[in-house]
Amino acid sequence: MGPAIGASLVMAIGIAITPLAMTAELLLLTTRRARINGPAFLVGWLIGLGIVGGAVLVLLGTANASHARGPKPWVSWLKIFLGISLILMAAVALLRNAKPRSADKQPRWAAKLETVRPPVALGFGAAFAGVRPKNIVLIVAGATAIAQTGASAGQQGIAYVVFAAVATIGVAIPVAIYFIRGDRAPQTLQRLEQWLRVNSAPMISVLCLVIGIDLIGIGIAELT
């Protein structure tokens, strides 16, 4: 189980750093229903990770991702494909955000969060976790790293729980700040949201580029 957790940790960190989801959580925590909607978004995030990751693990289990000598060749090719996908995402993120962003200009959808109810906040969390292309690629990569170890189904499940817990840190920290800092939380959350608004594009680009290159290198090394 240890190797499975270690092999998937980088992908989990990549999911944890999802600026758009973190921004949505931060904005929800400054609305009237912050005490309910913030945790609801967090729970939805975990549900999204659980559904997509569980499905991928089941599919990989039926496809027998490993043999006695290590991962099967198709697993290594899958890693190379996922790595290329991440590098392309890094390039797209840079092209779409070539113009500098202002810390004072909120996204258009931010105002709509004021009237969001808990079930919708939960749905948003699930969608941000399991529908965003970057997260889907990283979930598949993380689940592949877990499945290729040949661990038992139970051990793979535990490894994925750890994976999901690490992947949730990014949206969990704002909730913790909200409940720990009390009346001082809104100022802290607002500053963090403004910082993310300005720096999200370079963060995503560097993150996708580094993990993409790493996956391609691992895939090539396994094939050779």
| Per-residue pLDDT in tens (0 to 9) along the chain, 224 residues | 677 788 899 999 999 999 989 999 999 998 889 999 999 999 999 999 999 999 999 888 777 766 656 678 888 999 999 999 999 999 988 887 755 555 556 667 777 788 889 999 999 999 999 999 999 999 999 999 898 887 788 898 999 999 999 999 999 999 999 999 888 888 899 899 888 888 888 889 999 999 999 999 999 998 88
The number of domains in the chain is 1
Residue range(s) defining the domain that contains residue 75: 2-223
The answer to whether 120 and 36 have CB atoms below 8 angstroms apart is: no
Distances (CA, A) of 49 to 24, 26, 163: 17, 19, 9
Q: What angle do CA 52, 43, 175 make, to 5 degrees?
A: 130
| Tokens 């969990």 -> residue | 172
Cβ–Cβ under 8 Å, residues 19 and 196: yes
Query: Phi, psi (5° rounding) for residue 112?
Result: -70, -20
DSSP state at residue 70: E
* Interatomic CA distance for residues 193 and 66, integer angstroms: 42
